[in-house]
Amino acid sequence: MSTKILVVDDEPDLEQIILQKFRDQIRKDNYKFIFARNGVEALERLEEIPSIDLILTDINMPEMDGLTLLNKIKEKENPLLRSVIVSAYGDIENIRTAMNRGAFDFVIKPIDLNDLEITIIKSLHDLQMYKEAILSRDQLMAIKHELSIATEIQTSILPKTFPAFPDRNEFDIYAKMIPAKEVGGDLYDFFLIDKNRIGLIIGDVSGKGIPAAMFMAVSKTLLKATALKGISPDTCLEIVNDILVDESLPTMFVTVFYGVFDTRSGAFEYSSGGHNPPYMISKDGHVKQLDNRGGLFLGGMKNTEYESNMCMLQQGDTLFLYTDGITEAFDCNDKQFDEPRLEKVLQDNHTMPLESLINQVIKEVQDFSHGVEQSDDMTCLALRYLTKK
């Protein structure tokens, strides 16, 4: 599509000079020139052809001069329009006024056609750069809008009301996620399978941003729906893994830890799909990592077998589940927070209420990596066994 240039001048010979100078560009449909004899006609042309890109206008004209025309154009607040003023040599005052009223550049009379061509090219290049900036801004705004929607979707499907089960006194539970970006790939969930058993899920999706958030939502939904059937953790992971392999992109996968806590006995049956083993914190502060039983991450390979394991919680014991955004946080010296530091924080603060414990862990990680941008989502989920049912 040709660039439209409006030439505003009352000299009759200028039209033929312009058409002759730019005949090749006109023939190639690069430029299309529109002509007006004064500011009044120029405004009429702008109304008729709103897609005009550049105005080349004289200052001294009958009915409406160029400076008044610039004022009228400025009132329209059209940023996708460039103006070049034409003035006699030495008319610095008017040129200065024109620039203050929005002219992008100026050309001196008598017009040097080569200089005019360079000025037109420069003006149109600036306009193109501005248009590209506007497009980039609009695209960025659209992405931010999509991110805000994804954030709303993600946060809406993660439990965030605590206490989660105010009518149950056998256990306490708390969870928190700090995404590295607007949306994250970590997931967690907890739910009653029946009146005696509660399911705990934590996971970490490969990648970041919207794709990870959407895959996280799918994975969490499938895990919960499958777990609510009351099947064993290893069988649950096997079923969900096969579905994810069939229904997701080959590059997407999720590490998952799923366990079932029985409030009657304190038994905790679990299976891990390539996820960090949680910690069990005894009432007296002893911290021990659970045996790593399970199999590969979910979504990688079909017909993968998983293994379950079981441990027993005593009254006052706590389960602490987390994602690697905790232990793999870096400080300014490129050192990781690592498991030993996490274990010390858990031991030093084991008597805290669960919400305070998790907030303390996150604070310790943030203090450790102070000055280094968070590179991964940080998620913690904790359950404390209070009393037998």
- What's the CA gap between 40 and 65, in Å, rounded? 9
Cα–Cα distance list, 284 to 311, 323, 383 (Å): 17, 25, 16
Contacts of 223 (CB under 8 A, 6+ apart): 189, 201, 203, 236, 240, 256, 258
Q: Are strands 82-88 and 279-281 parallel, antiparallel or unpaired?
A: unpaired
State whether the Cα torsion 200-205-211-215 is positive or negative. Answer: negative
Angle at 389 between CA 272 and CA 282, to 5 degrees: 50
CATH 3.60.40.10 given to domain 158-385: yes
Q: Would you list the domain boundaries of the chain?
A: 3-135, 158-385
Low-confidence stretches of the chain (pLDDT < 50) are: none
Tell me what pLDDT residue 252 has: 86
Backbone angles phi, psi at 12, to 5 degrees: -65, -25
- What's the CA gap between 154 and 210, in Å, rounded? 10
Tell me what pLDDT residue 209 has: 67
Tell me what pLDDT residue 328 has: 93
Residue 353, CB-side half-sphere exposure with 13 Å CA sphere: 6
- CATH topology for 3-135 is Rossmann fold (3.40.50)
> 0.75 exceeded by the pTM?
no
**Total Cβ atoms within 10 A of residue 119:** 20
Tell me what pLDDT residue 97 has: 85
**Do residues 345 and 377 make contact, with C-beta atoms less than 8 angstroms apart?**
no
Tell me what pLDDT residue 130 has: 84
Tell me what pLDDT residue 102 has: 83
**Do residues 320 and 355 make contact, with C-beta atoms less than 8 angstroms apart?**
no
